[in-house]
Amino acid sequence: MSKQLKKRTIAYRQAKHKRAKPKLESYHLMPIGLFAGMGSVLFLSSKLLVPKLFIAQIVVVCCLSGLLIPMKLYGKYLGWERIESFILNVFGVGPIICALLMWCNFLISSETKLVSYKVTQVQLITNLDAYFQLELEGKAMDEFPEFREFTLTEDNQHYANANFIQYEISTGILGYDVVKNIEVLL
């Protein structure tokens, strides 16, 4: 073997040894963040009294927050390339952080209060599914239609005669209101 070939072989072995397996494989965290994190965000967005646009902005901020750490540190300590760390933050870490914040707000809540609104009109809407849409006095909950719409089933046909709707609302640890229970009063 020539000297030059020996040098290349030794350099290759040293480079391969330096590029050891990272401590945390990024491709394990990305599907967890994408499916579990975003699934939790979608589930909890229907339970919080927070506008959907604000939730989308929070998701974007959480996804980009991991990029505040310099990319060189990802490569140095975890052995990740720059594009790998970018994709990991956007699809893995960001949704998990956002979901954790939303779960904390949902689970750690205080001072439950009952809020009642008078129902002014009940509409039966039949597009693909049949559902009741309640119009409340003073345009209450107009920004949150998911708390005023109920799927038509045999159990809730009496919603057509609703006079009041009562929401059990508590304030989460982050200050956002959480709807714990909805009850239609006849």
DSSP string for residues in 36-70 = IIHHHHHHHHTTB-S-HHHHHHHHHHHHHHGGGS-
The one-digit pLDDT tens for each residue of the chain (186 residues) are 577 767 667 666 665 555 555 455 667 778 888 899 999 999 999 899 999 999 999 999 999 988 888 888 877 877 777 888 888 888 888 999 999 999 999 999 888 999 999 999 888 888 778 888 888 998 888 888 888 888 888 777 777 888 899 999 999 999 999 999 988 888
Same domain, 66 and 130: no
* Dihedral pair phi/psi, residue 126, rounded to 5°: -125, 90
For 90, the domain range is 3-107
- Among residues 80, 107, 134, the one where a domain terminates is 107
- Among residues 62, 77, 107, the one where a domain terminates is 107
Same domain, 141 and 79: no
Same domain, 85 and 8: yes
By the 10 Å C-beta count (0-12 exposed, 13-18 middle, 19+ buried), 71 is classed as middle
Number of domains within the chain: 2
pTM for this predicted structure = 0.76
Same domain, 79 and 23: yes
Same domain, 123 and 95: no
Determine which helix (DSSP H) or strand (DSSP E) holds 136, and give its type and residue range.
strand 130-136
Same domain, 118 and 159: yes
